[in-house]
Amino acid sequence: MEESRPRIEQQDTPQGRLLVVQGAWTAADLTAQSVWEGLTAQLKSLQGHTEASASWNLEPLQRLDHLGAQVLWNHWGREWPAQLQVHASQRAVLETVAKFSADPPKPRKTGWSEPFVLLGTRALQLVDHLKGLVRLIGQLLLDIIRLVRRPQEGPWRDLSGHLFHIGATALPITALVGFLIGVVLAYLISQQLRQFGADAFIVNILGISLIRELGPVLAAILIAGRSGSAITAQIGVMRVTEELDAMRVMGIARGFRLVMPRALALAVVMPLISVWTTIAALLGGMLAANISMDITPSYFINSLPAAVEVANLTLATAKSVVFGLLIALVGCHYGLRVKPNTESLGQGTTASVVTSITVVILVDALFAVLFKNVGI
């Protein structure tokens, strides 16, 4: 066992220092922790002036595989020693390791132009995504015109399936989240209104905030995370399994069969889910107001129509339709850009969710600025 232990012996000869490599330098012998630690310590002790003018002799080696050769090659600094005695088989192993061992990457110096190059790259990527999204919107309009002209050719079964999976199955989670948001919001507002004796105004604040803003935005964010990611994953898997290529070969329009049913389904479903989420949030706020401020449900229901104009509900419904279309288009956009590998599928799904939520918030802010005088 001692004879096969990998080691290096130093010998003084008339020609100078000679380093004799002995033992078995194989993966089976080097992977033992005690052996590897001892060999590493010995190799470190040899570095410096002692090794610079020394000769190497590998002929006494019992066994040598590519792992042992890699250890020696790395220790030599990825260069051949000036004097080396080896057998032909040992040299062949070392030459193979030297051929396929890449040099360690050199640290790249960042110049003053690096931030501008990065900014330009990100700007070009943004422009590319915007071009793809505009192209997708134009194709969607053409597909809708085709559907209106020849409704018998429409993908109605796909549309009904998406209506169920995107809309009906999302009702429990949206109701639960909306109800809890209403409870939390009512409790926070009640603490402030009680200080000024303005308990009755909780109906106005909850009505405006939930019906006009929080209800549609909350529903859109939930659908973006739940269904937007599913859309990207579905189309991305079709890219990985080459189903999209098969559709192109068969002459099936991807926009008409994949994008349009999802976009129409989300445009129809989002206003309904928005109203459903808003109702759940109002119920939660009404319950919290009754418990914390003794605002009865009858007073809450009777005061709500006077506190919130119908224009707010109309605006919320219009926003929900736009949110639904944007979520579907962003999901399809990233799904169609997925490359045929699983890593790209995961990155595309993540980017789809983040982009959908960001777009929803940006568009909601745009609506708030453009329609600031509506319903207030």
* Same domain flag for 95 and 149: no
Residue finishing a domain among 42, 74, 100: 100
Last residue of one domain, picked from the residues 100, 127, 162: 100
Note whether 65 and 149 are same-domain residues.
no
Residue 114 covered by a domain: no
Task: Please report, for the domain that includes residue 52, its CATH number.
Answer: 3.30.750
Structure tokens at 346: 């995961």
| Lookup: tokens for 351 | 């980017």
Final residue of a structural domain among 69, 100, 131 = 100
Backbone φ, ψ for residue 229 (5° rounding): -65, -35
List CB contacts of 316: < 8 A, sequence separation 6 or more.
211, 212, 215, 216, 274, 278
Nearest CA-CA partner of 273 in 333, 323, 207: 323
Strand partners, 13: 16
In this structure, are 42 and 150 located in the same domain? no
Count the domains in the chain.
2
Q: For residue 166, is it within any domain?
A: yes
Q: What residue numbers bound the domain in which 189 lies?
A: 142-370
Q: Are residues 167 and 86 in the same domain?
A: no
Residues 236 and 156 in one domain: yes
Residue 132 lies in a domain: no
Res 49: pLDDT = 47
Report if residue 1 sits inside a domain: no
Do 187 and 281 lie in one domain? The reply is yes
Asked whether residue 309 falls in the same domain as residue 250, the answer is yes
Whole-number Å distance between alpha carbons of 22 and 61: 5
Same domain, yes or no, for 17 and 74? yes
What pLDDT score does 71 carry? 84
90 and 189: one domain? no
pTM above 0.85, yes or no: no
**pLDDT tens track, the chain, 376 positions:** 556 778 888 877 777 778 888 888 888 878 777 778 887 888 777 765 455 567 888 888 888 888 888 888 888 777 788 788 888 888 888 888 888 876 666 666 667 778 888 889 889 998 998 998 899 999 999 999 999 999 998 889 999 999 999 999 999 999 999 999 999 999 888 888 887 777 778 888 888 889 988 999 999 999 999 999 999 999 999 988 888 889 888 888 888 999 999 999 999 999 999 999 999 999 999 999 888 888 888 988 888 888 888 888 899 999 999 999 999 999 999 999 998 888 888 899 999 999 999 999 999 999 989 888 876 6
Chain centre distance of CA 101: 34
SS3 for the chain is CCCCCCEEEEEEECCEEEEEEECEECHHHHCCHHHHHHHHHHHHHHCCHHHHCCEEECCCCCEECHHHHHHHHHHCCCCCCCCEECCHHHHHHHHHHHHHCCCCCCCCCCCCCHHHHHHHHHHHHHHHHHHHHHHHHHHHHHHHHHHHHCHHHCCHHHHHHHHHHHHHHHHHHHHHHHHHHHHHHHHHHHHHHHHHCCHHHHHHHHHHHHHHHHHHHHHHHHHHHHHHHHHHHHHHHHHHCCHHHHHHHHCCCHHHHHHHHHHHHHHHHHHHHHHHHHHHHHHHHHHHHHHHHCCCHHHHHHHHHHHCCHHHHHHHHHHHHHHHHHHHHHHHHHHHCCCCCHHHHHHHHHHHHHHHHHHHHHHHHHHHHHCCCCCC
pLDDT at 38: 80
Q: What is the largest CA-CA distance in the chain?
A: 109
- Tell me, yes or no, whether 225 lies in a domain: yes
Phi-psi map region of 56: left, alpha, beta (phi>0 left; psi -120 to 50 alpha): beta
Compute the distance between CA of residue 139 and CA of residue 256 in angstroms, rounded to an integer: 8
